[in-house]
Amino acid sequence: MKTFDRQTGTHTKLAGGRAAGASGPRRRFGLPGSTVVAIALVALAALVAGTATAQDAGTRTAVFGGGCFWCMESPFDHLDGVLSTTSGFSGGHVENPSYEQVSHGGTGHSEVVEVTYDPGRVSYEQLLYVYWRNVDPLDGGGQFCDRGATYAPVIFTDGADQDRLARRSRDVVADRFTDEIAVAIRPFQAFYPAEDYHQDYYINNPLRYRFYRSRCGRDRRLEEVWGDEAGGENPPASWLTAAEVSSRNASAASGLPAEVERRINAVHRIVAGIDAGDRPYVTRTAEYDPAARIVHGEDTPVDYPVQLSDAQWRRRLDGERYDVLRHDDTERPFRNALFDNKEPGIYYSAATGQPLFSSEDKYESGTGWPSFTRPISPDAVAYFEDRSLFSRRIEVVDSLSGSHLGHVFNDGPAPTGQRYCMNSAALIFVPEGGDPPPMIGDAAR
């Protein structure tokens, strides 16, 4: 929730909004001493169940940075359901800054536009569609002729719903390009309106505005990037949902059960926007590609979506599972439950309940541990360097919690050439037609 302070001219968050610092990064190895659940588990459960949270009645606001704020008002003003747009600043540490202060640098602020809208007439999802098609998503050094951090593209999200949709939109957009998406997604804290002469500039100064926009090359570049979609006119009501349905159809064609696909989509939406250091946390490819695998240093800090206290993990996992998943132990070969399992079915994470591997990708490696040629989806797992045995290995972890699963080696059979050597204790096998284990959003409380 936000309120507008007419004395300071700033929108600020009230109690009940998204709490700042709700989840801090934890070290890759070792357990957090007193961490609590850092993800809204109820929200995760809703994703798994395929439900959506209804928006409250009344108006909402969205804050977008796309270079010069003069040029970001018009695209939204033309949308039915947008009540107003305001040029201003957000993301910095200086209260109520002037345009001159922000332009000179050192405030940390971005030029942004605040969009006030009626969610009953236009959705945040549609606003995102318009936003993306009015920026160059590949340019993180500014936008068009305006250079520097002040003009870098950014989406400021207010609450879990906006954050989820913004990250999902970035992932959908990323599928269109080979270069990395440069648009940042950051939590909203405050908005400061710019001076009056900046408001509705395209209306009040049409000749100067058109001259500036043309000289800046904005429209030319937007057409190069987006083609006929440049400008984002007539945004579809559910472009993110449509992309998700396409993904589900592709998985259905490969024979995955509907519940497995629901969980895969839930995990995808949660982890797709997470960064580890200055790189994406998971491999953002639609299809599994070992060449695109992102391997992080063993001490890379990660804001894992699920962080439980040590006591919570001990209650959730029995002795051997706890030792393997949370302390990186390795079970004995040929003396574990699943190394020679040949039944058709799905292998789930014993830590979180997310699907990890399919029996269709399991093979007999002769090592004494269950082995697979690939994960069930590219972002089900994440990868870290492991130098614990005086050699470089690649550790495989559950992407939701960072829990240890095993290692991957480049000595597997076709078609991938990979051997995902997993611990049975890290997995829960469910035969074809069986009921999957609870997802952590349902049960880990």
Instruction: Compare 288 and 150 and report the one with higher pLDDT.
Output: 150
- Residue-wise pLDDT for 129-169, tens only, equals 999 999 999 999 999 999 999 999 999 999 888 998 899 89
Q: What is the pLDDT of residue 258?
A: 80
Helix H, strand E, coil C: the string for the chain is CEEEECCCCEEEECCCCCCCCCCCCECCCCCCCCCCCCCCHHHHHHHHHCCCCCCCCCCEEEEEECCCCHHHHHHHHCCCCEEEEEEEEECCCCCCCCHHHHHHCCCCCEEEEEEEECCCCCCHHHHHHHHHCCCCCCCCCEECCEECHHHCCEEEECCHHHHHHHHHHHHHHHCCCCCCCCCEEEECCEEEECCHHHCCHHHHCHHHHHHHHHHHCHHHHHHHHHHHHCCCCCCCCCHHHHHHHHHHHHHHHCCCCHHHHHHHHHHHHHHCCCEECCEECCCCCCCCCHHHCCEECCCCCECCCCCCCHHHHHHHCCHHHHHHHHHCCCCCCCCCCCCCCCCCEEEEECCCCCEEEEHHHEECCCCCCCEECCCCCHHHEEEEEECCCCCCEEEEEECCCCCEEEEEECCCCCCCCCEEEECHHHEEEEECCCCCCCCHHHHCC
pLDDT at 89 over 90: yes
- Residue-wise pLDDT for 36-51, tens only, equals 344 434 445 544 444 3
What domains, with CATH codes, occur in the chain? 2-26+52-240 (3.30.1060.10), 256-443 (2.170.150.20)
- Residue-wise pLDDT for 126-136, tens only, equals 999 999 999 99
pLDDT at 236 over 70: yes
- Residue-wise pLDDT for 359-402, tens only, equals 999 999 999 999 999 999 988 999 999 988 778 899 999 999 99
pLDDT at 53 over 50: no
pLDDT at 8 over 50: no
Q: What residues act catalytically?
A: 68, 421
Q: What is the pLDDT of residue 242?
A: 57
